[in-house]
Amino acid sequence: MPDRRTTRILLAKIGLDGHDRGVKVLAREFRDAGIDVIYTGLWQTPQATVHAAMQEDVDILGVSLHSAAHMTIMAEVIRWRDKYGIGFMPIVLGGIIPEADYPKLREMGVAAVFNPGSPMAAILSTCRELALTRRRTPLEEVLAGYQAGKVACLAQLLTYLQHGEQPDGWSSAAGRAKIIGVTGSPGVGKSSFISRLAERIRAAGKSVGVVAVDPTSHLSGGALLGDRLRMMSNEPVEEFFVRSLSSGGISGGLSQGCRQVVEALSGFGFDYVLVETVGAGQTDVEVAHLTEHVLVLLMPQAGDEIQFAKAGIMEIASGLVLNKADLPGAEKTRADLTATIGGSRPIWPVSTLRNEGLEPVAEWALGL
């Protein structure tokens, strides 16, 4: 029976090549073809790339190279893929690759190689075929690995849970995680804020899992899952797990199976689980039914006293983060917020760009 899950592909630029226009075009093409795309940005290492692909449990790992080091880099990618226990994950390579090297790359374990002249239709056809033929670890084996603390099995379990596939009567063990929702309008800086906050929580010796939801296209059914891009580092951090989810058209700011994914992360042993919603509007309050606490992010000139007093997203906030507080209008917005809510909830001015103002928010989170 064919797998009807939405195909997921991770696209990475590995090495020192500073140009990513082509891979961004590919990302949009994949999204418009109904595929969920995770792009990890420039200057990634082979290890960090494969670590991200393992956490995301993608169907295909796509690497873009223009540095003439493809034989060395791809050997490292494949080595890390096998070391992380995901040897079943197909790898495709795109870039300026001499055709004479194609057979060597395929022998090495690269499933397909594309050059800049490859038709998009051929790329899509090959990737869909690879996704359909990717071996999936049986659920019983995944559950056993999850119980044994294997991160690759956790990642694969999240895929099953997202699609409502789990044994009858099974549920994740009760975890100890503090679960915090992070919401706010599009472009307010939720992903960058989470990255900075997670750094401080980890510095206190705590582990952090992140569930990041991005919107699904109503036209194609695909999604560009860009939140990990703001959280990636060149070296994997074992105490930091990020999973990107598409909303699947679910309203309210979350996605199908989001509760089960959060519970599985908590049951795995993470100390904190941060849940990032899609860019939210006034009535997108579902995150309050999933998390124990909610941080609502705003930015300067995002409204006035009347706007802040309206029912909806402002009501669910445990605390308000005035992000981009280095921009003009921040003091006026803070004054309007204070006039609206008084001292009932904290208001934290923060600049994630300058990495300023995060300590009080971290202290609040660590004190929960």
Residue-by-residue pLDDT tens, the chain, 368 positions: 334 589 999 999 998 887 888 899 999 999 999 999 999 999 999 999 999 999 999 999 999 998 789 999 999 999 999 999 999 999 999 998 999 999 999 999 999 999 989 999 999 999 999 999 999 999 999 999 999 999 999 999 999 999 888 877 888 888 999 999 999 999 999 999 999 999 999 999 999 999 999 999 999 999 999 899 999 888 899 899 999 999 998 888 899 899 999 999 999 999 999 999 999 888 889 999 999 999 999 999 876 655 666 558 889 999 999 999 999 999 999 998 999 888 889 999 999 999 999 999 999 999 99
Q: Are 37 and 65 in contact (CB under 8 A)?
A: no
Q: Which domains, ranges and CATH numbers included, belong to the chain?
A: 8-133 (3.40.50.280), 178-366 (3.40.50.300)
Residue ranges in 84-218 assigned as alpha helix (H): 102-108, 120-133, 139-147, 151-162, 190-203
Burial class (CB in 10 A: 0-12, 13-18, 19+), 4: exposed
Backbone angles phi, psi at 277, to 5 degrees: -85, 170
Backbone angles phi, psi at 275, to 5 degrees: -115, 110
Residue ranges in 33-101 assigned as alpha helix (H): 46-56, 70-83
Q: Return the pLDDT at 3.
A: 46
Instruction: Provide the sign of the torsion angle of the four alpha carbons 89, 166, 216, 313, taken in this order.
Output: negative
pTM of the predicted protein model:
0.94
Backbone angles phi, psi at 353, to 5 degrees: -60, -45
Nearest in space to 260 (alpha carbons), one of 358, 163, 139, 143: 163
Q: Are 7 and 198 in contact (CB under 8 A)?
A: no
- Look at residue 208 and give its three-state secondary structure: strand
Which residues are CB-neighbours of 153 under 8 A, at least 6 positions away? 137, 141, 142, 143, 144, 145, 146
The H or E element spanning position 240 is strand 240-246
Q: Return the pLDDT at 313.
A: 87
Neighbours of 285 (CB within 10 A): 21
Q: Return the pLDDT at 2.
A: 36
As given in the structure block, the two tokens for residue 66 are 């223009």
Q: Are 215 and 246 in contact (CB under 8 A)?
A: yes
Question: What's the CA gap between 270 and 219, in Å, rounded?
Answer: 36
Strand order of the β-sheet with 112-114 is 112-114, 91-95, 60-65, 8-13, 36-39, 223-225
